[in-house]
């Protein structure tokens, strides 16, 4: 192998190394972005689970109420309270 071939091979390896470093940096940025998105989604999931538990419990309580009008009032009050606290905004509102 001549000196020129060694120099050329060295330059090619340096280019490949630089590209690999760029790829690693890009992947690290992508991972950071995905981790941030995941954190947001986990918080949203936690909030939705909380609302689901509240509404499930409200429905369970409503089912123990014999009077239909009282059931309706109970559920309306639960939804009103959730809206007031900003915890619940049904679609279309």
Question: Averaged over 38-50, what is the pLDDT?
Answer: 93
**Predicted TM-score of the model (pTM):** 0.62
Task: Kindly tell me if the per-residue pLDDT of 8 is higher than 80.
Answer: yes
Task: Kindly tell me if the per-residue pLDDT of 33 is higher than 70.
Answer: yes
Going by C-beta distance under 8 Å and a sequence separation of 6 or more, which residues neighbour residue 74? 58, 61, 62, 65
| Encoded tokens for 5 | 């071939």
| Residue 93, pLDDT score | 46
Q: How far apart are CA 70 and CA 76, in angstroms?
A: 10
Task: Kindly tell me if the per-residue pLDDT of 92 is higher than 80.
Answer: no
pLDDT digits (tens, 9 = 90+) for 45-71: 998 898 889 889 999 999 999 999 999
Task: Kindly tell me if the per-residue pLDDT of 91 is higher than 60.
Answer: no
User: Is residue 80 within 8 Å of 63, Cβ to Cβ?
Assistant: no
Q: Which residue has the tokens 């790829």?
A: 23
Question: Averaged over 67-77, what is the pLDDT?
Answer: 92
First-to-final CA distance of the chain? 75
Question: Averaged over 11-17, what is the pLDDT?
Answer: 97
Q: How far apart are CA 43 and CA 40, in angstroms?
A: 5
């Amino acid at each position: 192998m001549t000196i020129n071939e060694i120099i050329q091979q060295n330059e090619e390896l340096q280019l490949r190394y630089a590209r690999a470093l760029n790829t690693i940096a890009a992947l690290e940025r992508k991972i950071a972005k995905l981790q941030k998105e995941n954190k947001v989604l986990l918080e949203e999931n936690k909030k939705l689970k909380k609302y689901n538990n509240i509404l499930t419990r409200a429905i369970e309580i409503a089912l123990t109420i014999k009077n239909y009008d009282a059931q309706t009032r109970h559920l309306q009050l639960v939804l009103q309270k959730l809206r007031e606290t900003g915890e619940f905004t049904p679609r279309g509102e």
